[in-house]
Amino acid sequence: MTLRIATLLNYSGNPRDAADEVAAWEKAGLDSVWVPEAYGFDSPTLMGYLAAKTETVKIGSGILNIFSRTPGALLQTAAGLDNVSGGRAILGLGASGPQVIEGFHGVPYEKPLGRTREIVDIVRRGLRREPLENDGIVKLPLTKEQGAVTGLGKPLKILTKPERSSIPIWIAALGRKNVEHTAEYADGWIPHLFHPEKAADVWGESLAKGAAKRPEELGSLQVMAGGLLAIGEGEETRAALDLARPTFALYVGGMGAKGKNFYNDVARAYGYEEEAEKIQDLYLSGKKKEAEALVPTEWLEAANLIGPASYVKERLAAFEAAGVTDINVTPATADPTATIAQLKELIG
């Protein structure tokens, strides 16, 4: 196998404690750590802390939304992190959703596809220290005189010299059109709640369309997906699978209103239409435990890596066969560092 090992920083407790663990995981074989933001602590602060605590692991934002920061601010963040980490930064971007963008940031959720494309273009040009001129790709419907979604005024180039003139840009995407665009111009793709055996049926056509327009210099699209990790044969290991239920129920049931939940749409696309409907109804009515119980076990088993070493190795092969290059794992064991090391051995 050629999979790289990634992890999403869990900061539900004290983020400093979680970040301190990463240094040990780095020595055990971790290749990259990704810092989420959502509507908790900001990602760049913790990423900078990680840069000081580690030596080789790549550090990615997982993800920064494209609405609450200007393109220039995203450029500054990427360049700054790349400098303090010595060239280990990955810029993970995503549109998030109306619930976070409008409910927490108070910014209209408009033109996410066009805005993403413009930001990627602006950040890449900015890292090359080109003046940030932008006439715009997408026109605003209400204020035509403003022109672009990300329209810029007097052209300036970044004042400081970036560590690298190019930083990998990964995009979190689920909608078919968004995935198509990601396959066209991003360095990497981050699909959430990924089912390896069903992914091609949902996104295969979109990925192929995007790849057909992909510039050769970008190389092949990198893909990061995965879930909880527990390797063993005991009851404690098997019970770890249920630890994923609250996350799946939250996203499928609670991340958006009816008709505005991308994760619910994915569940339906996987063939879990009835479960998706019931999970959402229960979750939105406050019956979270009942919603969690309805998350299909088949999905949980496919999306996570929980079981004997031989079974986990089979799941790794399934992820790799589905195009995954970076297996994103969250150890659900008493000794996470040892679990990362064991996974490294299984990958070989």
154 and 250 assigned to the same domain: no
- The answer to whether residue 335 scores a pLDDT higher than 90 is yes
194 and 301 assigned to the same domain: no
Ramachandran angles phi, psi of 41, nearest 5°: -60, 150
**Domain housing 194:** 4-226+309-347
- The answer to whether residue 138 scores a pLDDT higher than 70 is no
153 and 245 assigned to the same domain: no
Give the C-alpha separation, 59 to 76, whole Å. 16
Q: For residue range 247-275, what is the model confidence (pLDDT) as tens digits?
A: 999 999 999 889 989 999 999 999 999 99
For 327, the enclosing helix (H) or strand (E) is: strand 326-328
170 and 105 assigned to the same domain: yes
Strand order in the sheet with 330-331: 305-307, 228-231, 330-331
Give the C-alpha separation, 24 to 4, whole Å. 17
CATH code assigned at 118: 3.20.20.30
Q: Is the peptide bond before 63 cis (omega within 30 degrees of 0)?
A: yes
107 and 194 assigned to the same domain: yes
290 and 314 assigned to the same domain: no
**H helices present in the chain, as ranges:** 15-28, 43-53, 71-84, 98-101, 112-127, 176-185, 196-212, 235-239, 245-249, 262-269, 273-284, 288-293, 297-303, 309-321, 336-347
Give the pLDDT score at 147: 37
Q: Is 65 exposed, middle or buried (0-12, 13-18, 19+ CB in 10 A)?
A: buried
33 and 138 assigned to the same domain: yes
Give the C-alpha separation, 157 to 137, whole Å. 20
206 and 240 assigned to the same domain: no
- Assign 135 a pLDDT band (cuts: 50, 70, 90): low
181 and 34 assigned to the same domain: yes
Q: For residue range 216-254, what is the model confidence (pLDDT) as tens digits?
A: 999 999 999 999 999 999 888 889 999 999 999 999 999
178 and 221 assigned to the same domain: yes
202 and 162 assigned to the same domain: yes
Give the C-alpha separation, 316 to 320, whole Å. 6
Q: For residue range 266-318, what is the model confidence (pLDDT) as tens digits?
A: 999 999 999 999 999 999 999 999 999 999 999 999 999 999 999 999 999 99
- What is the 8-class DSSP label of residue 251? I
180 and 210 assigned to the same domain: yes
Longest CA pairwise span in the chain (Å): 65
Number of domains the chain contains: 2
